[in-house]
Amino acid sequence: MSKVLIIGAGGIGQVVTHKCAQRPDIFTEITLASRTLAKCDAIAAQLAIPIRTAQVDADNVPELVTLIRVLQPKLVINVALPYQDLHIMDACLETGVDYLDTANYEPLDLAKFEYSWQWAYQERFRAKGLMALLGSGFDPGVTNVYTALAAKKYLDLVEEIDIIDANAGSHGHPFATNFNPEINIREVTAMCRHWEDGRFVESQPLATKRTFDFPQGLGPMNIYRLYHEEMESLVKHLPSIKKAQFWMTFSDNYLKHLEVLQNVGMTRIDEVEFQGQKIVPIRFLKALLPDPGSLGPLTKGKTCIGVIARGLKEGKRKQVYIYNICDHQECYREVGSQAISYTTGVPAVVGAIMMLSGKWRAPGVWNMEQFDPEPFLEVLDIMGLSTNVVEGGEWPEL
Ligand code: NDP
């Protein structure tokens, strides 16, 4: 009997709710709660089984505590926004419930994300015998698990990793983001950092560009280096890593729009005065852009997200590429969402299954690479995301 409370009825919340509802053997009672009740009800109406829905402001800890006390779930799956992470963790601590999320905490007024705020909860979770699993999406999430698999099975020592995220899909809009536009734009416009020789090296966002030949017919695409949160936990928990970089594909069209939006100030996160009212430009922009949840029927093509890990095996240099390919339209047929939401939502549910089944369970605050990768990847495959492994391929150093 595992009651679960999902918080956040956006693009990812839709996939998480669908996938939990597919496994009534594990998730015996599901509640979907969010700021806007109508969004929860719209998702609930798509399902073959009944679930509960609720309205909650996840920035209001007493409100969350009341809801959790009424529902008494075993686990809270947080797929609201990174701004809510600490409030939901506080409510979980107060009510004695386990916690899982897909993105690390980010303060609303500072475009900076790092794990320090959530790692600071370590002792409090441990003391109460509770578990928090951080970053159980795809990247972070599965990319951490792929790195752990490389370390467990394919390499004796992981020395370098390149995490490469390609979206070879198109949605037909001149400009749209595949997940929450505010979070997405804050992420890609932040200063770039990569790990080299024991420290993070800073560079201009998207200034480093390479071409990568993606597998299974996806072919060559431009990839751009940016900072991504899993590098912080990976270099901490796998200290043999000397170099870690994160790369993402962007179309020329996306980059052109982003540059103009930045130049005219539309990506600013501070308040500006407009006709006697205070507005935050990036939030206004979010209101104008297509809702990522609406891209499902339009998006065609595939995603390819994976990790190239290089290091030593039996004294010799070796590399391994571990990746997943996901088709936007197949995701839409299954759960009514495009592949970016799908590849994030499915690992969140698999992380939940790991916790509820006891395969991954320990009091404290954990990142994904700290657990055995193999049981996770077995369930991930069953739940719709398969893993490809190519040992010793010919990939250039990036
Ligand atoms: P959306 O904006 O589509 O959805 C977020 C939902 O959270 C909305 O329904 C919103 O409600 C709700 N919400 C926001 N604030 C509150 C609040 N104070 N109280 C209650 N509910 C609230 O975002 P996505 O679904 O695209 O993204 C969800 C999360 O997934 C983000 O944290 C994102 O960073 C993460 N993510 C992780 C990835 C990974 O691979 N690890 C990849 C992509 C995303 P309302 O609609 O009423 O505003």
Q: 282-296, pLDDT tens digit by residue? A: 999 999 999 888 888
Atom number in ligand 1 closest to CA 57: 19
pLDDT of residue 296: 84
Q: How do 364-367 and 131-134 pair as beta strands?
A: parallel
Alpha carbons 238 and 231: distance in angstroms, whole number? 10
pLDDT of residue 344: 97
Alpha carbons 398 and 396: distance in angstroms, whole number? 6
- 219 lies in the same domain as 327: yes
Q: What is the CATH number of the domain that holds 106?
A: 3.40.50.720
- 119 lies in the same domain as 148: no
- 153 lies in the same domain as 114: no
Mutation pick for ligand 1 pocket among 35, 246, 349 (CB with most ligand atoms within 8 Å): 35
Tokens 């719709």 correspond to: 384
pTM attached to this predicted model: 0.96
- 123 lies in the same domain as 155: no
Q: What is the pLDDT of residues 213-241, one digit of tens each?
A: 999 999 999 999 999 999 999 999 999 99
366 in any annotated domain: no
152 in any annotated domain: yes
Q: What is the CATH number of the domain that holds 330?
A: 3.30.360.10
Atom number in ligand 1 closest to CA 182: 2
- 102 lies in the same domain as 149: no
354 in any annotated domain: no
Residue 168 sits in which domain range?
142-339+373-391
- 212 lies in the same domain as 118: no
Ligand 1 is surrounded, with C-beta below 6 A, by 8-13, 34-36, 39, 56-59, 79-82, 84, 102-103, 135, 137-141, 179-180, 183, 292-293, 344
Q: How far is ligand 1, taken at its centre, from the CA of residue 334, in Å?
A: 21
- 260 lies in the same domain as 123: no
- 230 lies in the same domain as 377: yes
Q: How far is ligand 1, taken at its centre, from the CA of residue 85, in Å?
A: 11
358 in any annotated domain: no
Query: How many domains is the chain partitioned into structurally?
Result: 2
347 in any annotated domain: no
Q: How far is ligand 1, taken at its centre, from the CA of residue 5, in Å?
A: 15
- Please give the C-alpha separations between residue 168 and each of 224, 243, 279, 304, in angstroms, as whole numbers: 14, 26, 34, 8
- 218 lies in the same domain as 305: yes
Tokens 């017919």 correspond to: 217
Q: How far is ligand 1, taken at its centre, from the CA of residue 183, in Å?
A: 9
Closest-CA residue, ligand 1 atom 26, reads: 179
- 317 lies in the same domain as 181: yes
- Please give the C-alpha separations between residue 106 and each of 89, 114, 299, in angstroms, as whole numbers: 14, 7, 29
Which domain-ending residue is among 103, 134, 165? 134
Q: How do 272-274 and 364-367 pair as beta strands?
A: unpaired
User: In the chain, which stretches have pLDDT less than 50?
Assistant: none
380 in any annotated domain: yes
Which domain-ending residue is among 134, 162, 188? 134
- 173 lies in the same domain as 192: yes
- 61 lies in the same domain as 209: no
Q: How far is ligand 1, taken at its centre, from the CA of residue 78, in Å?
A: 9
Alpha carbons 85 and 310: distance in angstroms, whole number? 33
367 in any annotated domain: no
48 in any annotated domain: yes
pLDDT of residue 168: 87
Which domain-ending residue is among 85, 114, 134? 134
